[in-house]
Structures are given as C-alpha cells and as structure tokens.
C-alpha cells in the first residue's frame, strides 16, 4: 500500500520513490566506503565520481552537445537570474558586439509570468539595459496585464540582433501555469543572438534541442532533485573572455561566475554535495525510462486533469489559454473562495496535499512533476470528479 501522501507541491516536490529508497539504503555506508555521502569530502575520489557520473548522465539524457558545459551551482534559480546576465555581458562576443555598436546592448526579456518577471527585475537592479519583448497579455475584459497566454510573435518587440546581448525567457511559469511550447522562442529569435532559458520547472520533462540555446538554467528542486543546487548548461564560446581586461570580471562574484565553475569541474569551492548526489540518481531514473517516456507520461497526466476542467468549465475554471497550458503546474479556480478552501481541505483528508494556488494568484495549483506516478494523477482526478458531483 502507498503510505505516503500524494504531494502536489510546486517545489521542493515529489522525488521518485526508488531514488529515496536507494538514498536510504546507502545512507550510513555509501557503497562500502564506510560513511554517508553527507559526510564525504568533495575532494575524495569517491565523491569525484559521484559528481562526474551525475554530469555524464545528464549529458546523455538531454543529449547535451560537446560544445556545452554542464555546471552545478548554488544560489537557486534566483542566483541564475543574475549569473546569466553577468556572465553573458562579460563574454567576449557580446563585448565585441557592444564595442561595435558604441553603446550598451539591450537584454531582451520575454515576460510570461511571475518568474520571468523576477528574472527581469533582478537584472534591472544590476543596471542592465533591458528591453521588454512582451509582458503577458492585456485582458480582453479589464485591459489589465495578465499572465495566461502569449501574444503572437508578430507583436513581440524583439530588438535588432546587432543591438541585443541575449534574449531571456522562462519556459514554464511555475506560478501562472503558462508553458511555452518547445522551440517557440528559439524559432522566433535571430540565431546570432544567444537565448537564455530558465527551465527550473519543466527541465527533464521533455526532450530539448540544447544546441539552439546560449544557456539553459534551472534550480533542481522540481524535476531534478532536492533544493540546494542549480544547473547551468552553457555554450562554451559564451565562456570565452578577454582575461587581460580587468573590467570584464570586476562585477562578477566568484560564486556566480560560470567560468570559475567551468574551470574546476563545478568544484572551485565546496559544492552542495548531497543534493548533487541525489540529482545524479534522479538523472539515472530518467535515463532508465528515457526522456521521450517522460514527455509521454507528463502529457497523459496533465490531460487527465485538463479533461475534467474542460468537461465542467462552469465549475472548474482553467486560468490559462489552452495553447500555453503547463503540463507541470496546472492552475484553476472554483466558483468561489469557500469552495476552494473546501476542496483543499477535503483533498488533504484524502492524503493529497499542497494544492493551494500561489499567494499571488489564489485558486488551486496542482503540480504534476516527473516523479508523480500516474496513480497520483488518477487519485486527484477521481477526487475532482467526486467533488464536482457533491458540490455543483
């Protein structure tokens, strides 16, 4: 019997049970080394293979090309908001382009929800010359800015390639439940401009053509593992710098410096050793099934829930344009706040937790990450149907 709860948290979130069992099995004495991974020096040989295996597995799973580095970093998804900007602006090709232009290049931000908005705010704080490519859509009824869809590409305000340092977006908006289709942004951007993507909440849920990105960044604590580590997959030419010019790195703290990590196999200082170890096990778990299977299951799980929403639109109100609905974080409201509280309370009685929508949005949010078994989605759907029968 399944004696754990169905955990629909947006992150940190459910991990594969087999991974947790392996962690537990190896906790006191990791593979005969007489100690826990928690206690191990990151300079030991055994830890060296844990981190290099994790990297190699992720490289295979996502078919990361050789001209990309995979970095394990700290500072969360938020740390990468700043890191992406600081590292890109120090890159040789970007600086040369800027010199040619004779004024600051623009950093293009595509704002599709709360997390890309946070990414934008962070670089504004650091003094970036930002260009907002789009900022949600205007509500047809109120005229207010809402984050439930994307305007057509023809309405995007992308800068000229020779004036743009990079284009930034967040592929899955964890709060607003908006997911940008694969390749949608890279198809719209001039290939000479690096695209930086925050994939914190949909990484490893579908294949990605890494070769089309300048960098992919993500916090681990949704689909990849526990909190404490973030990952950057960076095209190596963007790590080229003019090291003789002290201006180049003056403003980059070492812990956010991708080159510093790249030059030391992600261990210039102490890494979050245990988090990386667990991520490595999750990468193996994904590899065992294949990334295509992850995508198939993710779509099945999400469709089951959206089908119930669409069958009773007067009761379950999906918040996002169907074209851009997230398969990871599904957001909807009920006819009133009392019913929403009742829904959350009764779900908890059925061992289903973490269904309250983000405080900025309200309603219900159900997160269906890779490690959520199809049985969990089944249980939730059965609950939704019963709740509808009892309350409509």
CB 161 to ligand PMP: min, Å: 26
Is 198 designated active site?
Answer: yes
Q: 277: Cβ–Cβ under 8 A, 6 or more apart, which residues?
A: 37, 50, 54
Alpha-carbon torsion, ordered 71, 72, 74, 79, to 10 deg:
40
Q: Is 170 a residue that touches ligand PMP (CB under 6 A)? A: yes
Q: 288: Cβ–Cβ under 8 A, 6 or more apart, which residues?
A: none
* Residues contacting ligand PMP: total by CB under 6 A: 11
CB 110 to ligand PMP: min, Å: 13
DSSP 258-279: HHHHHTTTT-SS---HHHHHHH
Q: 377: Cβ–Cβ under 8 A, 6 or more apart, which residues?
A: 300, 301, 304, 305, 368
Indicate the helix (H) or strand (E) that contains 132.
strand 130-135
Q: Applying CB under 6 A, which part among 141-149, 193-201, 273-281, 287-295 lies near ligand PMP?
A: 193-201
C-beta separation of 39 from 198 below 8 A: no
CB 115 to ligand PMP: min, Å: 4
Q: Which is nearer to ligand PMP, 219 or 376 (CB)?
A: 219
C-beta separation of 252 from 86 below 8 A: yes
Is 160 designated active site?
Answer: no
Q: Is 78 a residue that touches ligand PMP (CB under 6 A)? A: yes
DSSP 37-83: GGG--TTSHHHHHHHHHHHHHHHHHTT--TTEEEEEESSHHHHHHHH
Q: Applying CB under 6 A, which part among 59-67, 75-83, 86-94, 294-302 lies near ligand PMP?
A: 75-83
Q: Is 219 a residue that touches ligand PMP (CB under 6 A)? A: yes
Indicate the helix (H) or strand (E) that contains 195.
strand 195-198
* Distance (Å, whole) CA 166 – CA 159: 10
Question: Which among 6, 108, 117, 198 is annotated as catalytic?
Answer: 198
CB 176 to ligand PMP: min, Å: 10
C-beta separation of 266 from 116 below 8 A: no
Q: Which of 148, 174, 275, 326 binds ligand PMP (CB under 6 A)?
A: 174
Q: Kindly write out the interface string for residues 109-148 of this chain, putting x where it contacts ligand PMP by CB under 6 A and - elsewhere.
A: ------x---------------------------------
Question: Which among 115, 257, 258, 285 is annotated as catalytic?
Answer: 115
What are residue 367's DSSP bridge partners?
329
Q: Which is nearer to ligand PMP, 19 or 83 (CB)?
A: 83
Q: Which of 57, 112, 180, 200 binds ligand PMP (CB under 6 A)?
A: 200
Q: Which is nearer to ligand PMP, 148 or 201 (CB)?
A: 201
C-beta separation of 172 from 112 below 8 A: no
Q: Is 9 a residue that touches ligand PMP (CB under 6 A)? A: no
Question: Which among 97, 117, 222, 284 is annotated as catalytic?
Answer: 222
* Distance (Å, whole) CA 381 – CA 369: 16
Q: Which is nearer to ligand PMP, 108 or 173 (CB)?
A: 173
Q: Is 207 a residue that touches ligand PMP (CB under 6 A)? A: no
Q: Applying CB under 6 A, which part among 56-64, 196-204, 310-318, 373-381 lies near ligand PMP?
A: 196-204
CB 34 to ligand PMP: min, Å: 33
Q: 226: Cβ–Cβ under 8 A, 6 or more apart, which residues?
A: 12, 15, 220, 274, 275, 278, 279
Q: Is 316 a residue that touches ligand PMP (CB under 6 A)? A: no
Q: Is 223 a residue that touches ligand PMP (CB under 6 A)? A: no
Q: What CA–CA distances, in Å, run from 389 to 240, 305, 384?
A: 61, 16, 9
Alpha-carbon torsion, ordered 300, 304, 306, 307, to 10 deg:
120
Q: Which is nearer to ligand PMP, 218 or 294 (CB)?
A: 218
Q: Which is nearer to ligand PMP, 78 or 129 (CB)?
A: 78
Binding site for ligand PMP (CB under 6 A): 11, 76-78, 115, 170, 174, 198, 200-201, 219
Active site residues: 115, 198, 222
């Amino acid at each position: 019997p399944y004696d754990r709860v169905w955990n629909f948290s947006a992150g940190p979130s459910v991990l594969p049970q087999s991974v947790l069992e392996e962690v537990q099995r190896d906790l006191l004495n990791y593979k005969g080394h007489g100690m826990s991974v928690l206690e191990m020096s990151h300079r030991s040989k055994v830890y060296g293979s844990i981190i290099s295996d994790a990297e190699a597995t992720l490289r295979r799973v996502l078919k990361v090309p050789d001209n990309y580095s995979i970095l394990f970093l700290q500072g969360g998804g938020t740390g990468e908001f700043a890191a992406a900007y600081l590292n890109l602006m120090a890159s040789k090709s970007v600086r040369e382009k800027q010199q040619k232009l004779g004024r600051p290049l623009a950093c293009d931000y595509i704002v599709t929800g709360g997390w890309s908005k946070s990414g934008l705010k962070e670089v504004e704080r650091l003094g970036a010359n930002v260009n907002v490519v789009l900022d949600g859509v205007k509500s047809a009824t109120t005229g207010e800015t809402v984050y439930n869809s994307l305007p057509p590409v023809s309405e995007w305000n992308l800068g000229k390639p020779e004036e743009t340092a990079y284009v930034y977006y967040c592929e899955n908006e964890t709060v607003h439940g908006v997911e940008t289709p694969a390749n949608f942004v890279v198809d719209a951007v001039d290939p000479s401009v690096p695209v930086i993507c925050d994939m914190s909440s949909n990484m490893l849920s579908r294949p990605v053509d890494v070769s089309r990105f300048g960098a992919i960044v993500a916090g681990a604590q949704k689909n990849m593992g526990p909190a404490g580590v973030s990952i950057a997959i960076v095209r190596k030419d963007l790590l080229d710098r003019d090291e003789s010019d002290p201006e180049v790195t003056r403003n980059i703290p070492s812990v956010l410096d991708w080159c510093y990590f790249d030059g030391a196999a992600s261990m210039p200082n102490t890494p979050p050793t245990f988090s990386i170890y667990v991520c490595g096990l999750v990468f193996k778990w994904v590899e065992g099934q294949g990334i295509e299977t992850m995508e198939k299951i993710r779509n099945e799980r999400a469709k089951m829930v959206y089908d119930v929403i669409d069958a009773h639109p007067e009761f379950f109100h999906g918040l996002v344009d169907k074209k851009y609905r997230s398969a990871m974080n599904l957001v909807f409201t009920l006819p009133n706040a009392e019913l929403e509280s009742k829904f959350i309370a009764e779900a908890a009685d059925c061992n289903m937790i973490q269904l309250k929508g983000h405080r900025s949005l309200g309603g219900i949010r159900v997160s269906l990450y890779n490690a959520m078994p199809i049985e969990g989605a089944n249980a939730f759907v059965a609950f939704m149907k019963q709740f509808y029968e009892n309350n409509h």
